[in-house]
Amino acid sequence: MTENLIIFNARVVTPVGFSARRGREMGELCIMDNATVEVTDGIITYVGTNRGEERDGYYQHYWHYNARGKCLLPGFVDSHTHFVFGGERAEEFSWRLKGESYMSIMERGGGIASTVKATRDCNFIRLRGKAEGFLRQMSIMGVTTVEGKSGYGLDKETELLQLRVMRSLNHDEHKRVDIVSTFLGAHAVPPEYNGRTDDYVDFLIREVMPAVVQNRLAEFCDVFCEQGVFSVEQSRRLLAAAREMGLAPKLHADEIVPLGGAELAAELSAVSADHLLHASDAGIRAMADRGVVATLLPLTAFALKEPYARGREMIDAGCAVALATDLNPGSCFSGSIPLTFALACIYMKMSIEEAITALTLNGAAALNRAGSIGSIEVGKKGDFVVLNTDNYHFLPYYVGMNCVHTTVKEGVLYPVL
Ligand code: NIG
Ligand code: FE
The ligand 1 atom at the shortest distance from the C-alpha of residue 102 is: 9
Ligand 1 pocket: which of 92, 104, 114, 332 to mutate (most atoms within 8 A of CB): 332
The Cα–Cα gap between 80 and 82 comes to 7
- For residue 52, name the pLDDT band (cuts at 50, 70, 90): low
Q: Is the CB of 336 under 6 A from ligand 1?
A: no
367-389 pLDDT, tens digit per residue, is: 999 999 999 999 999 999 999 99
Cα angle 253, 258, 260 (rounded to 5 degrees) comes to 60
| 58, pLDDT greater than 80 | yes
Separation CA 312–CA 315 (nearest Å): 5
The burial of 382, by beta-carbon neighbours within 10 Å (0-12 exposed, 13-18 middle, 19 or more buried), is given as: buried
Question: What residue type is 142 in one-letter code?
Answer: G
265 CA to centre of ligand 1 in angstroms: 18
**What are the tens digits of pLDDT across the range 339-367?**
999 999 999 999 999 999 999 999 999 99
Alpha carbon distance 302, 343 (integer Å): 8
- pLDDT range class, residue 89, cuts 50, 70, 90: very high
d(CA 326, CA 167): 19
- What does the pLDDT look like over 243-275, one tens digit per residue? 999 999 999 999 999 999 999 999 999 999 999
| Residue 57 binned pLDDT confidence (cut-offs 50, 70, 90) | confident
Alpha carbon of residue 297 to chain centroid: 9
pLDDT tens-digit map of 156-209: 999 999 999 999 999 999 999 999 999 999 999 999 999 999 999 999 999 999
Does position 54 have pLDDT exceeding 80, yes or no?
no
CA–CA separation, 117 and 273 (whole Å): 27
Residue 34 near residue 49 (C-beta atoms within 8 A): yes
Report whether 222 contacts 159 (CB < 8 A).
no
- pLDDT, mean of residues 279-292: 98
Give how far the C-alpha of residue 230 lies from the chain's centroid of Cα atoms, to the nearest Å. Answer: 22
102-111, 174-183, 390-399: which has the minimum mean pLDDT? 102-111
pLDDT band at 97 (very low <50, low <70, confident <90, very high): very high
Mean pLDDT (whole number) for 45-51: 94
User: Judging by DSSP bridges, how do beta strands 143-149 and 76-78 pair with one another?
Assistant: parallel
Return the minimum-mean-pLDDT range out of 56-70, 221-235, 279-293. 56-70
**b/e sequence 12-29, b meaning 16+ C-beta within 10 Å:** bbbbebeebbbbebbbeb
234-237: which pairs have CB atoms within 8 A and are 24 or more residues apart? 234/186, 234/197, 234/198, 234/201, 235/186, 235/261, 235/264, 236/264, 236/267, 236/268, 237/201, 237/205
- Confidence check: pLDDT of 56 > 80: no
CA 109 distance to own-chain centroid: 28
pLDDT, residue 80, reads 98
- What's the confidence (pLDDT) of residue 51? 83
Using the predicted structure, report yes or no on whether residue 53 has a pLDDT greater than 90: no
| pTM of the entire predicted model | 0.98
CB distance 266 to 286 below 8 Å: yes
* Distance (Å, whole) CA 404 – CA 410: 17
Which DSSP string do the residues of 150-182 spell out, in sequence order?
Answer: --S--SHHHHHHHHHHHHHHHT-TT-SSEEEEE
Rounded to the nearest angstrom, the distance between the alpha carbon of 383 and the centre of ligand 2 is 25
For atom 8 of ligand 1, which residue has the closest CA?
330
How far is 265 from 241, CA to CA, in rounded Å? 15
Q: What is the pLDDT of residue 348?
A: 98
Mean predicted lDDT score pLDDT of the chain: 97
117: amino acid identity, one letter: K
| Separation of alpha carbons 319 and 278, rounded Å | 16
Q: Which of 328, 333, 334, 340 to mutate to test the pocket of ligand 1 (most atoms within 8 A of CB)?
A: 328
Cβ of residue 115 lying under 6 Å from some atom of ligand 1? yes
Confidence (pLDDT) at 226: 96
